[in-house]
Amino acid sequence: MPTQLPEDARRRLEAGQGDLRDRCWHNVQRLHKWSGKLEREGPSGEDADYYESMGPRSLLLGPIVWDGPTDKRKLGWDEITAALRAKVRDLLGRYARELAALAGGEWWSLGLTGAEFESRMAAVLQSVLADLKNVAKEADSDLGLGLEIEPLVADLNTGLQAWCEDYVERYGAHVGLYGTAGTGLGAQAGGPQAGASSLKDRFRVTSIDGSVRWINPEDPDPESIWTPEDEKRISACVFDGRAAVRSELEGIFSGKEWPALAALVEPFRRYAVAVFDVYASAYSHVAQTLAAYQEALDQLLLPMVLRDLFGREWDR
């Protein structure tokens, strides 16, 4: 990964990357066990205890299931290999996105300009692709799939590039709303003591757009429209809400049957309502007129919540 990060951020990223690799390896082992079950029993899903042992650390959403015809028959190795290749592709794609998000999250909090952040994310993308090749080789070696690594990584790169572009776009929107920190990365490198002394007095907040900011309640950011109390409420709502959605989805997908559509929609509906409410409350504290409040809800808040749920496709 890029090495220009501050020392503490670099250590966090290295630790996060090591943990992510460990999670990926455990998921490969799950696929290995599942392939053995397919060979013995024919079309079948993963044993539930393998998924439950991973819990939130799983990179695959829910137990591993067979997506082909379900008639009970003995599967040939070509069929098993094809199924494993599809699952490995999904696993590697999730690994790459999470790794990019880890690095991007560290850069996000440094107060870079939009151009600086875009440049860092371009470097992050190249580093993730290089790491992805190694992880793909390890997975292929373990599962014996005979993967063509270069074409696979090139294929995954298309989706990863789109994700990074969306992430940079979100950062640009964040900068447009909040501005950047008073000092860029170069200034931080030249004077680390100035920022380090105040970090102990700050708390970290995560906004709906994925941005991470450090707030000092004794010295509020003059460029922020929120009070420190509202910042904390928004951050807690977004963080806890996303954790609740993940937890509910894990429960929904833990059964043997494919869940009903209504059951899938409900966690997202509750999350969207909760986020909309907490932001609406915050807007009510800063809007000077009823018309301004209504405009903020219609023109800023509602599109932001929908974009959070559906991604950049919503804007199109």
Residues 38 and 185 reside in one and the same domain: yes
| Residues 161 and 67 occupy one common structural domain | yes
Six-digit token pair at 72? 């009970």
| pTM score over 0.75 | no
User: Are 132 and 207 found together in one domain?
Assistant: no
Tell me phi and psi for residue 206, to 5 degrees: -115, 125
| Segment 95-111, tens digit of pLDDT | 998 899 888 888 887 87
Instruction: Indicate if the pLDDT at residue 150 is higher than 70.
Output: yes
Cα distance between the two ends of the chain: 32
Mean pLDDT of the chain: 76
Q: Domain ends where: 160, 193, 226?
A: 193
Do 103 and 245 lie in one domain? The reply is no
Q: What is the pLDDT of residue 235?
A: 73
For the segment 158-170, what is each residue's pLDDT rounded down to a tens digit?
989 988 888 888 7
Kindly state whether residues 176 and 272 are assigned to the same domain.
no
**pLDDT at residue 301, as a whole number:** 73
Are residue 39 and residue 89 in the same domain, yes or no? yes
> Considering 193, 215, 250, which residue would you say is the last residue of a domain?
193
- Domain end, chosen from 193, 214, 243, is at 193
Residue 230 structural domain = 201-316
178 close to 215: Cβ distance less than 8 angstroms: no
What are 110-141's pLDDT values in tens digits? Answer: 878 888 889 999 999 999 999 999 999 999 99
Pair (189, 211) in one structural domain: no
**Residue-level pLDDT at 195:** 38
Contact 167, 121 (CB under 8 A): yes
157 and 24 in a single domain? The answer is yes
Give 289's pLDDT tier (boundaries 50, 70, 90): low
The residue-averaged pLDDT of 17-45 equals: 88
Cβ contact 171:108 at 8 Å: yes
Angle at 311 between CA 306 and CA 316, to 5 degrees: 85
In whole angstroms, give the CA distance from residue 80 to residue 245.
32
Number of domains making up the chain: 2
Q: Are residues 20 and 157 in the same domain?
A: yes
Pairing of strands 212-215, 203-206: antiparallel
232-248 pLDDT, tens digit each: 777 777 777 777 887 78
162 and 258 fall within a common domain:
no
* C-alpha to C-alpha distances, 21 to 27, 93, 212, 254, 278, nearest whole angstrom: 10, 13, 24, 24, 36
Segment 264-291 shows an average pLDDT of: 77
Same domain? 173 vs 296: no
pLDDT at position 102, please? Answer: 85
Q: How far apart are CA 263 and CA 154, in angstroms?
A: 35
- 27-33 own/partner pairs: CB under 8 Å, 24+ apart: 27/54, 27/58, 27/59, 27/60, 27/91, 28/88, 28/91, 28/138, 28/139, 28/142, 28/143, 29/142, 30/54, 30/60, 30/64, 31/64, 31/84, 31/87, 31/88, 31/91, 31/143, 32/142, 32/143
Phi, psi values for residue 213, rounded to 5°: -130, 150
Is 166 in the same domain as 314? no
Asked whether the beta carbons of 154 and 92 are under 8 A apart, the reply is no
Confidence of residue 298 (pLDDT cuts 50, 70, 90): confident
Residue 85 identity (one-letter amino acid): R
User: In Å, how far are 103, 119, 151, 174 from 256, measured between CA atoms?
Assistant: 36, 45, 34, 41
Q: What pLDDT does 242 receive? A: 76
